Amino acid sequence: MKYCPKCGRELTTRPEGGRDRLACPACPYVYFGDFSIGVGGVVIRDGRALLIRRGQEPRRGWWQIPGGYVEHDEEFDRAVVREVFEEAGVHTRVVDVLGLRNSVGAPSTNVYVVFRLEPLSGEPTCDGDEITGAGYFSLDALETMEKVQSLSKWAIRAALVDRPGFRHVAEADLIRPGYVLYGLDGAG
For Zn ion, the binding residues (CB under 5 A) are: 4, 6-7, 9, 24, 26-27, 29
Within 13 Å and on the Cβ side, how many CA atoms surround 33?
A: 13
**Cα 111 to chain centroid, rounded:** 7
Cα–Cα distance measured from residue 71 to residue 178, given in angstroms and rounded to the nearest whole number: 13
E strands in the chain: 12-16, 19-23, 35-45, 48-54, 63-64, 67-69, 91-103, 109-121, 131-137, 167-169, 181-183
The answer to whether the peptide bond before residue 15 is cis (omega within 30 degrees of 0) is no
Residue placing its CB nearer to Zn ion in the complex, 11 or 70: 11
Residue placing its CB nearer to Zn ion in the complex, 20 or 57: 20
Minimum Å distance from CB 73 to Zn ion?
A: 22
Residue placing its CB nearer to Zn ion in the complex, 26 or 180: 26
Minimum Å distance from CB 14 to Zn ion?
A: 13
Minimum Å distance from CB 2 to Zn ion?
A: 12
Residue placing its CB nearer to Zn ion in the complex, 6 or 59: 6
Minimum Å distance from CB 12 to Zn ion?
A: 11
